[in-house]
Amino acid sequence: MTGGGCRDVGVGRYEGGMTTRFGELDDREVPPALCGLIGGFLYWEPGALAGIERIGGYLAGTADPLPGRDAPERVGAGQWTGFIGRTGAIALRAAAPSTRPERRERLLALLEMWADSVFVDPTVRMRTGTVREPQRGAVRDERGATILVCHLRGGIRVLEARTGDAEPPGLGPLEEVEELPRAGWGNARQIRDLVALVRARGPMPWDPEAVVRLAADTGMSRGAAALALAGTPGTDMFRKPFLDAEERRLLGLKAAEAETARVESGRLEAEGWLDLLADVLPADPADLWAPDAPRHLAARIATAWHARNGLRAPIPETSRALIAAQKPKLPAAELCEALAHSAADPLLAEDLDTWPESPPDSGIHLVDATGFGEAPRRMQNLLEDLAALVPTVYAELPAGDPIREGLPTLVRNVRARLDHPGLLLSCCHLYHGATIDDLRAWFGPHPYDGPEPLTVPAFDDGLTVAVEAAPPSYYGRHRHHPRLFFRPAVLGDDARAQRLDDTRGYGGAALLTSVRRLRGDHFTRIVARVESGALPVGAYEANPAASVPDVVERAAKALGLAPDPAALYLQLLALEAPTDRGVRTWNAWTPTRHRKAVATLVDAGLAVADKRARAGRGVFLPGPWAPADRPYRPMETWKAAFLGVTVLRHSGEVHGRVVLDRTLPELFADAWASVERGEGPQ
């Protein structure tokens, strides 16, 4: 929008006859005040609030466009139309104590303007839609009006207002029609009362206990619940601090917790938050300042959350911390939701079609129907993360934990997505030296024929799509490699798959390994074990006394031990990293109980007490020790052989990660069987 700006209207009247009230307010800063509640293009030029007011006046028939124009100027990318019938979220943020004063002023100014506009008139019905080729920017008569809001791919977004039953004049055939809500919180009186109360009393009270209750009732993390209660969902769109130090103090969040909450809350897009918070405020805004108001507000948000997402068990903070400690590619909060509630994740619940694209001056990359590569990139990161996390979740979280209980559904959903023929994933790149003739010989002779034509040669053997390297970028700084993509639905054990498995000359084939793991027998047995319900709720699979009590009984009898030291001995035999902290957590042992079990094993000659770098424990199996540098873990040499981990001959160091092919009950049983055969550690 290009009109004279707010500073002009604050001292008189805009050229269109509209009286305004915004004075010297710099409303270019309105979008940051609304971050998380609006999306898309987030730069609004000066005069945005007055511009929205003029649009409302045109729709109401009380104002004309500026001289020389056939329509009111557009404001931003039209995101503000999402506020129609859903100003509750804005009002909540304006009243919240954590909102920065300068942002609160802009929100209050927006609400003041809105309360006097046609957008709260209950007699006017509004809807949005798209038209293909409008000949003008607006049209109006006694039946209502239609205005152009923003340009979209393949059409123009318009806003239509009608005052009766007759169709208002339009700008063309209307497609993708959406009726905008009219009932609910946010009539003119409610908005004016809330603005006056905030100005007179300051922000509403805050209660940390209300945050705890909201988290427990919805399954959100405590941080995300705090953001919801303050109407402050997260977004990546602004480089300014999401929450400054004072905002974090008021919400009771540390910097890392706030960042995690930002990512978690950001998964529900702006439209979703506007819907969720639209009607959670009390009918009488004055009730927000009652002592118990935050708890009542939390209850209403929880009810709205359940209506949208259903009832979900809360994810314990310790479980969230375990996922974060694995340092996954995707945000830990996002992965927790995917693990626990995979049916609610679009990439896990719906098939994805992808194909390679070769834009000018850049390397080959995958896109989907949106024309962007975000969904393919997230899918690939998600598959790699899940392949690594599923065994960890299974082994280190207790039975009954919502993340662990979600594993069966998760694995089935992942496998269903991998079986979709239209999914193409990035396999690896070829090092320099592979020519077009090489690609044709390895993966040809059939050319690739996809939804989008490529600017470089590509060959398709049904499983693999091999794409020649794109030319160097315009600046000549980046040379590209030939790329290989594969269809997981076709991945098997034939000659085509063997070519991909032979990674000599390849780089970056981790995703192929992840797909095979996700489909492998180990994950099938994990699913069966979780679904069996054999492990008592609250117990850990890593505690043999809970997962294989019969094996503990056999070991105790054979070794002449009590159950506790027998269980600890099995953990030392079978677990990659039976740290002191881990053992006490899994076994629900106090430090004293743990020390007694250790002393018994040492006295029996079954273990030795020692201090060793990066071990995290003070008791070890007898025999040689294999140290390790990060990212590998040190362990007894006997255990490395038992778990199938490589130990370098020349240095005796561990060089590899444990990749289990057995469940923990199977692992404990196999370890004890080795001892029974006389093949245990010496």
pLDDT digits (tens, 9 = 90+) for 297-328: 999 999 999 888 877 778 888 998 899 899 99
Helices and strands per DSSP (H, E), number in the chain: 29, 16
For 579, the enclosing helix (H) or strand (E) is none
Which residue has better confidence, 173 or 17?
173
End-to-end CA, the chain: 80
For residues 247 and 259, the answer to whether their CB atoms sit within 8 Å is: no
pLDDT of residue 448: 92
Q: Could you read off the pLDDT of 245-298 as tens digits, one per residue?
A: 899 999 999 988 888 888 788 778 888 899 999 999 999 999 999 999 999 999
Residue whose structure tokens are 């908005």: 191
pLDDT digits (tens, 9 = 90+) for 102-130: 899 999 999 999 999 999 999 999 999 99
pLDDT surpassing 80 at residue 4:
no
Does residue 15 surpass a pLDDT of 50? no
Average confidence (pLDDT) over 527-555: 97
Q: Which two tokens stand for residue 621?
A: 């199996």
Q: What is the DSSP letter of 208?
A: H
Backbone angles phi, psi at 448, to 5 degrees: -75, 135
**pLDDT for the residue numbered 237:** 45
557 Cβ neighbours under 8 A, 6+ residues apart: none
DSSP string covering 374-399, please?
Answer: HHHHHHHHHHHHHHHHHHHHHHHS-T
486 bridge partner residues: 425, 464
What local confidence, expressed as pLDDT, does residue 240 receive?
52
Q: What percentage of the chain reaches a pLDDT higher than 70?
A: 91
Tell me what pLDDT residue 16 has: 32
What is the number of other CB atoms lying within 10 angstroms of the CB of residue 321?
11
Q: What pLDDT is recorded for position 43? A: 67
For 146-182, how does the pLDDT look when each residue is reduced to its tens digit (9 = 90+)?
999 987 766 789 999 998 888 899 998 988 899 998 7
User: Measuring CA to CA, which residue among 423, 512, 434 is closest to residue 468?
Assistant: 434
Buried b (16+ CB within 10 A) or exposed e, 514-535: bbebbbeebbebbbebbeeeeb
Q: Which of 323, 410, 420 is nearest to 376 (CA)?
A: 420
Burial 231-251 (b: 16+ CB within 10 A, else e): bbbbbebeeeebbeeebbebb
What's residue 507's pLDDT? 59
Kindly list the distances between the CA atom of residue 178 and the CA atoms of 87, 138, 170, 184, 310, in Å, as whole numbers in the listed order.
18, 19, 15, 17, 24
Half-sphere exposure at residue 310, Cβ-oriented, CA atoms within 13 angstroms: 5
pLDDT of residue 360: 59
Tens of pLDDT, residue by residue over 179-237, are 998 778 999 999 999 999 999 999 999 999 999 999 888 888 889 999 999 998 876 44
The pTM (predicted TM-score) of the whole model is 0.75
What does the pLDDT read at residue 557?
97
Q: What is the pLDDT of residue 5?
A: 28
User: Mean pLDDT: which of 404-413, 443-452, 505-514, 652-661 is highest?
Assistant: 404-413
